[in-house]
Amino acid sequence: MQGSVHTLIRTQIDKATANAIVRNPAYLDDEQLSREGQFAVLTEIFNANVRDREIRDVSSHFAPMFQNGHPVHLSVLGKTGTGKTITILYLLHEFEELCRERRIPFRQYHLDLCCAVPCFRALNNLACLMGASKYYKRGISLDDLMLAIEKHLRSVSGYVTVFIDESDNIRTDADSFYKFLIKRLPQRIEGKLILVFASNRLNWADNLDPRIKSCLKMRETIFDPYDATDLQTILEIRVTKALRAGMMDEGVVPMIAALSSRNHGDARKAVDLLTRSAQLAEKQCQHITLDAVRQASEEIERDKYVTLIRTGPKHLQAALYAALLGSEKRPKSLHTGDAYLLYDHFCGAVSLRPLTQRAFSDLLSELDMYGFIRARTVSRGRYGRSKEIHIAVAAPVVAELKSTILACFGMVGPVVTRR
DNA sequence: TGTCCACAGGAAATACGGGGGT
DNA sequence: ACCCCCGTATTTCCTGTGGACA
């Protein structure tokens, strides 16, 4: 008997290795790569003429630096997944090298405001990057932080580049932060300050105080979403690095590229689709087929909804549950009032204080915006005006959403509403 | 043609909570 | 530790509305 278990384990391992498609998963997930690794992949991608215009644009913008000039600030705009951050980091790294060769003093800092932070946090993080101050939770004034940064930079000559990633992500008092960077800091330091902003909101600077905005001299460059050709190039480079050769049907990469460019033009999502397809194919012990891509795409779509609702506010979850439940009972005509009643009961069952109907109406609009439901306002004559609610997601997703919501409230079975 | 339903959705008021100053 | 301020969430109040029905 023992022998058979050993054989089983061995054959299973052999089988799994024989079916392995992913050879080097790091190349499917940049997080797992070192900065050098990322740059190496990027070099290949850029060499294939992807992001050519943007590279020319930014390079020529920084060119005056090599003739003792002073480039104005730069604003890099574009949707998520268009490679703004990594391209800028790459270019700044290149500029740094070039400056070293030509003995031009240059230093760069990358301030990543990946989550919304108040002015204090942003300044403190910047000061920490520069080594100008320690990390404070609180208890130090904004002015002290600014002084620390000034003091640190006062002795620095040459070019100082500060790359402010997600520059629209300053939650409170963005004006003070930018007033400091744009108006005050350049006057108090000897070096030449160049700010690089990146944002996925085209009009992020519009919210700034007009006085600050007026003295913000900057040039804008826009990163367009990748088109199918670009995505195909990017995917092919990743495929050769990450996957075993010959494990993929013809047309898989073009299909992923086409789907992704049509839906979002986001390279990260395209690579994600490739990864999911590969994993799915591995599980099914076959090559990556067009069908696997289709399945993976559906899986991602489903996950998107499920994570959206799982991480969303409680009341939104409750409202969606009510809408799903109500639509089953009355697939054709679920109106706001009925849905609110169900919501009210659900809240009672999970001991959540229900919001008013006015707020519930806004929740429905939000669910509509996210694409869970379609809620259009209709007039039923003397029976009043109301929203008509239809489910906008496929049946399997509905089931998953319902169990997810119940799990969020710590329940397993369907809720028994009393009345 | 006027009425009236059952809400939509805007605006103002109010509650709440967290961060920063003292 | 305490207070104040400010941004956000929610409630309250209100006006508007399209079409069935009498």
Residue A311 has pLDDT above 90, yes or no: no
Task: Provide, in whole angstroms, the distance separating residue A355's CA from nucleotide C22's C1'.
Answer: 37
Nucleotides in B strand less than 7 A from protein CB: 3-11, 19-22
Mean pLDDT of A402-412: 88
Q: Whose C1' is closest to the CA of A354: which nucleotide?
A: C10
Q: Is residue A297 part of a domain?
A: yes
DSSP letter for each residue of A188-243: H-SSEEEEEEEES-TTGGGGS-HHHHHT--EEEEEEPPP-HHHHHHHHHHHHHHHB
CATH of the domain at A238: 1.10.8.60
Q: Among A223, A248, A279, give the residue marking a domain's end.
A: A223
Single out the residue in A166, A194, A223 at which a domain terminates.
Answer: A223
Q: Which residue is nearest to nucleotide B22 (CA to C1')?
A: A139
* Same domain, residue pair A287 and A321: no
Domain match, A126 and A112 both:
yes
Residue A363 sits in a domain whose CATH number is 1.10.10.10
The confidence score (pLDDT) of residue A114 equals 73
Got the DSSP string for A297-309? HHHHHHHHHHHHH
| Total of domains in chain A | 3
Confidence of residue A305 (pLDDT cuts 50, 70, 90): very high
Query: Does A72 fall in a domain?
Result: yes
Q: In this structure, are A92 and A186 located in the same domain? A: yes
Per the structure, the complete domain to which residue A318 belongs is given by: 312-408
Is A235 found in the same domain as A208?
Answer: no
- Strand C atom within 7 Å of A356 CB: yes
Would the Cβ of A121 be found within 7 angstroms of any atom in strand B?
Answer: yes
Q: What's the confidence (pLDDT) of residue A2?
A: 53
Tell which strand C nucleotides have any atom below 7 Å from a protein Cβ.
6-8, 10-14, 16-21
A247 in the same domain as A376? no
Q: Is the CB of A330 under 7 A from strand B?
A: no
The residue lying closest to nucleotide C22, measuring its CA against C1', is A382
Q: Which nucleotide is nearest to A356 (CA to C1')?
A: C11
What per-residue confidence (pLDDT) applies to A112? Answer: 87
- The band of A418, judged by pLDDT with boundaries at 50, 70 and 90, is very low
What's the Å distance between residue A356 CA and nucleotide B4 C1'?
Answer: 24
A219 lies in the same domain as A80: yes
Question: What does the pLDDT look like over A219-269, one tens digit per residue?
Answer: 999 999 999 999 999 999 999 999 988 888 889 999 999 999 998 899 999
Q: What's this model's pTM, rounded to 2 decimal places?
A: 0.79
Q: Is residue A17 part of a domain?
A: no
Burial readout A367-381 (b: 16 or more C-beta within 10 A, e: otherwise): bbebebbebeeeeee
Question: A356: pLDDT confidence band, cut at 50, 70 and 90?
Answer: very high
Residue A45 lies in a domain: no
Inter-residue contact A364 to A375 (CB < 8 Å): yes
Q: What pLDDT is stored for residue A419 in this prediction?
A: 36
Residue A281 lies inside a defined structural domain of this protein? yes
| A 126-165: CB within 7 Å of strand B | 138-142
pLDDT value for A277: 94
Q: Is residue A63 part of a domain?
A: yes
Q: Report yes or no on A39 lying in a domain.
A: no
Q: A101-150: per-residue pLDDT in tens?
A: 999 999 999 988 876 677 778 888 888 888 877 777 666 677 778 888 88
How much is the mean pLDDT over chain A? Answer: 88
Q: Is the pLDDT of residue A25 over 80?
A: yes
Say yes or no: A204 and A266 in one domain: no
Nucleotide with minimal C1' distance from the CA of A379 is: C18
Domain boundary among A307, A323, A354: A307
Is residue A249, in this structure, part of any structural domain at all?
Answer: yes
Instruction: Give CA–CA dist A334/A395, Å, rounded.
Output: 17
- Looking at the C1' of nucleotide B10, which residue has the nearest alpha carbon? A358
